[in-house]
Amino acid sequence: VIAALGYIGILCLLPLLLKKNSPFAQHHGKQGLVLLIAWCLLWVGNIIPIIGQIVWAVGSVLLLILMILGIVNAWVGKMWEMPVLGEYAKQIKI
């Protein structure tokens, strides 16, 4: 359950801080953290007129899909890796 919560915004800190000895929870927490960073970058890019709003809209839908897939896979116990962003999550050392 904690691993699944890791995909919901700032709640990504729960598995990272509470389940330090669980590679499964850490994996999903790191991916959730990368999603949160990506959302923040999209939000900042949204200040660019027209193009920023288009990128925000498309990017938000894609990140929402990744978030849902992450929650479902964590819930069923799979060590699922997100396309593209999963590589960044692997590089996080906690």
DSSP-assigned letters across all residues of 46-86: TTSTTHHHHHHHHHHHHHHHHHHHHHHHHHTT-----TTHH
What confidence tens digit (pLDDT) does each residue in 4-31 have? 999 999 999 999 999 889 999 999 999 9
Using the predicted structure, report yes or no on whether residue 45 has a pLDDT greater than 90: yes
pLDDT > 90 in the chain, percent: 91
The pLDDT mean for the chain works out to 93
Distant-in-sequence, close-in-space partners of 22: CB < 8 Å, separation ≥ 6: 3, 15
The reported pTM is: 0.88
What confidence tens digit (pLDDT) does each residue in 46-61 have? 999 999 999 999 999 9
Report d(CA 36, CA 45) in Å as an integer: 14
Confidence of residue 37 (pLDDT cuts 50, 70, 90): very high
Using the predicted structure, report yes or no on whether residue 94 has a pLDDT greater than 90: no
